[in-house]
């Protein structure tokens, strides 16, 4: 393709017999410029369809008004929603977003980071990939003088601005709810323990068991069960135990919980009377399954807005906070059909379970 010559401020300057300096001042309305001259500049610029070259102006100004966002997967609902929330806020402030995805790969995450550093973005927002095992590349962001904000999945040893969910509390509440509904043998489907979010969800699970003096059964904790298929496989294993669980908390995702539900249906196990199911993330489908699935809403769009606003607040300060700020979004337990047992039903179903 033959690249057309783009109109520059020199073309406008020539037409008006002024210098590029005057044109620049008129276009940016910065510094002194005569109003009549300014209107002429704007008029010619429009006629010639001039578009500023932000490569040049950003290079000269030393800022890009651009935020780079790195997420594990763009087409995962949680992250797409967070991005939408960030975009809502940054649009108001005339900031640009560059969005990258790591595909849950360490190597790709490093590449994303370097690309954004090279692009001289003003801030990098990141949720780390499952594959990531060291965070030198994030330290590098800080070393280059770029603002770094971590969200959801964070490298805890890096003291940066953070926007997180209170995963432990949400998990704690979910498991307490299960126990209050009469479930006694609660299994946990967990994610990779190198990620903070899954560690915290497990921590909340254990805390709830402790609160109610329920003994921890290690056979009830299954690793890496975060897709529907992995959730289903884990469920088959759990339900074939001699002392099978009576509830499954899929702390990794609603997809995992969906896999649990499908296996329960296949095995003609009644939900919620014989088996309770709780997911995580409040995916759209959790309210349309039969029964609908109890889950945890992470307020992902709000999280995105909090991230953007944290950045803008920090920019407005004369100097950086001594201790980087951490914002914690409180998730909400959404109780639905998959975990609701009533007193009367409870008596009947306990009997039914003993005969299974």
Nearer to a copy of itself, 137 or 177 (CB): 137
Nearer to DNA, 24 or 300 (CB): 24
- The sheet carrying 66-71 orders its strands as 96-101, 66-71, 123-126, 147-151, 161-165, 326-329
Q: List, in order, residues 6 or more apart from 21 with CB less than 8 Å away.
A: none
Q: Is 43 in the site for DNA (CB under 7 A)?
A: no
Q: Which stretch binds DNA (CB under 7 A): 50-58, 166-174, 218-226, 316-324?
A: 50-58
The token duo for 62 is 């030393």
Nearer to DNA, 5 or 351 (CB): 5
Choose the contact partner of 309 out of DNA, a copy of itself, none; CB within 5 to 8 A by kind. none
Q: How far is the CB of 15 from a copy of itself (least distance, A)?
A: 18
Nearer to DNA, 63 or 229 (CB): 63
d(C-alpha 205, C-alpha 216), whole Å: 10
Q: How far is CA 291 from the centre of its chain?
A: 27
Closest-CA residue to 171 (of 58, 251, 73)? 251
- Enumerate residues 3-42 that contact DNA by CB under 7 A: 5-6, 8-10, 17-22, 24-25, 27-28, 30-35, 37
Chosen residue from 39, 48, 56, 287 binding DNA by CB under 7 A: 56
Q: How far is the CB of 295 from a copy of itself (least distance, A)?
A: 14
How buried is 290 (Cβ within 10 angstroms: 0-12 exposed, 13-18 middle, 19+ buried)?
A: exposed
Nearer to DNA, 20 or 158 (CB): 20
Closest-CA residue to 331 (of 290, 288, 278)? 278
The token duo for 109 is 């995450």
Instruction: Determine contact, residues 264/232, Cβ cutoff 8 Å.
Output: no
Q: How far is CA 301 from the centre of its chain?
A: 9
Q: How far is the CB of 316 from a copy of itself (least distance, A)?
A: 10
Q: How far is the CB of 125 from DNA (least distance, A)?
A: 24
Binding mask 179-198 for DNA (x = CB under 7 A): --------------------
d(C-alpha 277, C-alpha 251), whole Å: 10
Instruction: Determine contact, residues 195/128, Cβ cutoff 8 Å.
Output: yes
Nearer to DNA, 11 or 297 (CB): 11
Q: How far is the CB of 288 from a copy of itself (least distance, A)?
A: 6
d(C-alpha 267, C-alpha 247), whole Å: 15
Q: How far is the CB of 167 from a copy of itself (least distance, A)?
A: 21
Task: Count residues binding DNA (CB under 7 A).
Answer: 32
What are the distances in angstroms from CA 316 to CA 120, 144, 327, 342?
A: 19, 20, 17, 53
Choose the contact partner of 101 out of DNA, a copy of itself, none; CB within 5 to 8 A by kind. a copy of itself
Which residue's structure tokens are 């709000």?
Answer: 302
Q: Which residues bind a copy of itself (CB under 8 A)?
A: 1-4, 6, 49, 51-56, 58-59, 62-64, 73-75, 77, 80-81, 83-84, 87, 91, 96-101, 108, 114-115, 117-120, 140, 143-145, 147, 258, 262, 284-285, 288-290, 314-315, 319-320
Residues that bind DNA (CB under 7 A): 5-6, 8-10, 17-22, 24-25, 27-28, 30-35, 37, 50-53, 56-57, 59-62
């Amino acid at each position: 393709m033959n690249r057309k010559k783009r109109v520059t401020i020199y073309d406008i300057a020539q037409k008006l017999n002024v210098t590029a300096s005057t044109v620049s001042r008129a276009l940016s309305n910065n510094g002194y410029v005569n109003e009549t001259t300014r209107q002429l500049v704007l008029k010619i610029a429009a006629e010639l369809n001039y578009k500023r070259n932000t490569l040049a102006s950003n290079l000269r100004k030393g800022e890009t008004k651009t935020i780079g966002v790195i997420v594990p997967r763009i087409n995962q609902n949680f992250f797409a929603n967070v991005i939408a929330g960030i975009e809502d806020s940054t649009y108001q402030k005339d900031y640009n977003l560059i969005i990258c995805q790591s595909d849950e790969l360490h190597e790709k995450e490093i590449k994303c980071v370097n690309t954004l550093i090279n692009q001289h973005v003003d801030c990098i927002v990141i949720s780390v990939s499952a594959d990531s095992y060291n965070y030198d590349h994030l330290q590098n962001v800080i070393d280059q003088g770029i603002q770094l904000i971590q969200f959801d999945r964070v490298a805890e040893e890096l003291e940066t601005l953070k926007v997180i969910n209170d995963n432990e509390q949400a998990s704690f509440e979910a498991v307490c709810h299960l126990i209050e509904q009469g479930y006694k043998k609660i299994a946990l489907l967990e994610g990779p323990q190198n990620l903070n979010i899954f560690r915290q969800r497990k921590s909340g699970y254990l805390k709830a068991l402790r609160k109610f003096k329920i003994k921890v059964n290690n056979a009830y904790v299954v690793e890496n069960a975060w897709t529907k298929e992995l959730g289903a496989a884990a469920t088959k294993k759990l339900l074939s135990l001699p002392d099978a669980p009576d509830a499954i908390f899929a702390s990794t995702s609603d997809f995992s919980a969906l896999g649990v539900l499908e296996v329960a249906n296949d095995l003609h196990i009644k939900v919620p009377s014989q088996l309770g199911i709780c997911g995580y993330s409040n995916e759209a489908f959790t309210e349309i399954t039969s029964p609908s699935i109890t889950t945890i809403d992470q307020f992902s769009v709000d999280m995105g807005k909090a991230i953007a606003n944290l950045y803008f607040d920090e920019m407005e300060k004369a100097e950086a906070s001594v201790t980087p700020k951490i914002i914690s979004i409180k998730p909400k337990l959404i109780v639905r059909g998959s975990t609701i047992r009533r007193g009367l039903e409870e008596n009947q179903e306990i009997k039914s379970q003993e005969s299974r």
